[in-house]
Chain A
């Protein structure tokens, strides 16, 4: 997994984002084990405390579950994952529409752009 960081946001937030994305993409399958904090931290080249905070946020969001014996696992609740994926998708669309309106295009223009792009694929 490629870890990329920007300068302006706390690292733990960026970690949460990227871990969420990995889960939604299926890189960490539902019910599957997440690597231990230290290992993830070393992979990402970050402080274990920072990674710990990111994972705690993941638990709070319902995407990860902490098990006393087996460590952290991805949630088995598919609905939560699908809901999170949908929210991401919606956010991406909203961002796209925002840019287009800033450039001065109307919603119908947006649909045209969308169809063109899909035809290209």
Chain B
């Protein structure tokens, strides 16, 4: 096992002429909960997709557990996208079967108990579930794996405040402690307490990467307050929200 879980050097991604990420250098250790923080359009989803192997970088390199993106890295990464990604006619238990088939680190018993505590009936068809319940099922699938890297893309974005605590609690109680969780979000105040480290991503570049403790001690304010400061100028220039 490599000491560093993720190493990025000069990572760059262009969509045609438009740059989404430019020269990103990053190192992530193990056993950390890291926040990838930035407004919409800052490149968070692009970065996560490259980690997953869903996108190829235009330039630069990325290594997960010492390997470039491929079947091995996919087997140790558990990814929660910001959309629904399965066929409606399946039941939740069918999805558990699928995950158990393809991922050796999938813990079916844990998945069932998570369903119980989240109030999800796994034998229901996904078609009959509300949007919130389907999102819970996806969360269960992702967190029931003993992965090395969890990539959660906006896990609390479309969710009401009460459910957010529940989701964060689910993440905290189920993730693999030897693994690292990367949460991408623009709702910082909700997740600040669970972060070890925070990365500020602005226009495809990392403008800050520090521990949450350091930020609070140095700036005497919360990470959320610092975020608003750093990105306030962008809003006034008419940048994206």
Contact = CB atoms under 8 A, between A and B. Distances in A.
A49 B168 contact: no
Given A11-B193, A11-B216, A38 B32 contact: no
A56 to B, nearest CB: 13
Contacts of B32: 49
Given A8-B221, A47-B195, A38 B216 contact: no
A30 interface: no
Contact of B225 (A7, A48, A49): A7
- How many chain B residues sit at the interface, stated as a range, is 20 to 34
Contacts, number: 55
B56 interface: no
Point out which of A8, A11, A49, A50 has the most chain B C-beta atoms below 10 A from its C-beta.
A49
Interface residues of A, number: 18
A47 B213 CA distance: 11
Contacts of B195: 47
A9 interface: yes
A48 B193 contact: no
Nearest to A8: B220
B193 A47 contact: yes
A45 B194 contact: yes
Interface string B205-241: 0000000110011001110110000000000000000
A42 B32 CA distance: 15
B159 interface: no
B172 A41 contact: yes
A11 B194 CA distance: 10
A111 to B, nearest CB: 36
Given A8-B216, A10-B216, A11-B213, A49 B31 contact: yes
A12 B213 CA distance: 8
Interface string A1-39: 000010111111000000000000000000000000010
A40 B12 CA distance: 40
Contact of B172 (A5, A7, A8, A48): A48
Contact of A47 (B169, B196, B217, B222): B196
A7 B222 contact: yes
B168 A45 contact: yes
Contacts of B177: 38, 48
B193 A5 contact: yes
A46 interface: yes
Contact of B169 (A7, A9, A45): A45
Given A10-B217, A49-B31, 11 more contacts: A7-B221, A11-B212, A11-B213, A38-B177, A42-B169, A45-B194, A47-B33, A47-B194, A49-B32, A50-B212, A50-B213
